[in-house]
Amino acid sequence: MKRIVVDKLIAAFPLYANLKLLALPDGWLGIVNELFCDFRDLQKMMPGHMPLDPDIQMVAVDWRQYQWPSHLLYVRPVVHHRHWTPEMSNRLVQVVSRFNEFAQHTCEVCGDQSVGILKYQDSRRQQALCQTHMDERRWS
């Protein structure tokens, strides 16, 4: 992701966004944005949560780079375990699984649904791409 985009994410989600996002594909902006909203909403499931409570960090995020999928989201809980309910825990598992699943089917350039994975002949890493960007790259 480009610096200007990452800076906006950091401003919007200071508890979750950081410069590690620079390594992620441009097309992931939408799903990353949704992911951070989901993390923020986890707090609302906490017993005794009040609407005006200040945001607290629920999880810490790490992205690991692989051949495929290109990046995988890992999290660790940060807020003390006494605050976690089974429902919140299950929701966190769901949010992380869904992100890793969606990410593999998201065009790494524009964020549309991907139609396949393009393997390059040179050392570039393979990419999930939508039809438009697949065509564009295949002939370049």
Residues that bind another protein (CB under 8 A): 60, 62, 64, 72-77, 80-81, 84-87, 89-90, 92-94, 96-98, 100
- Of 16 and 130, which has the nearer Cβ to another protein? 16
- Of 96 and 130, which has the nearer Cβ to another protein? 96
Cβ proximity of 39 and 78 under 8 Å? no
What is the residue-wise DSSP string for 47-61? TT--TTPPP---EEE
Q: From the CB of 73, what's the least distance to another protein, in Å?
A: 6
Residue reference for tokens 């089917």: 105
Instruction: Report CA 91 to chain centroid distance, whole Å.
Output: 15
Q: From the CB of 77, what's the least distance to another protein, in Å?
A: 5
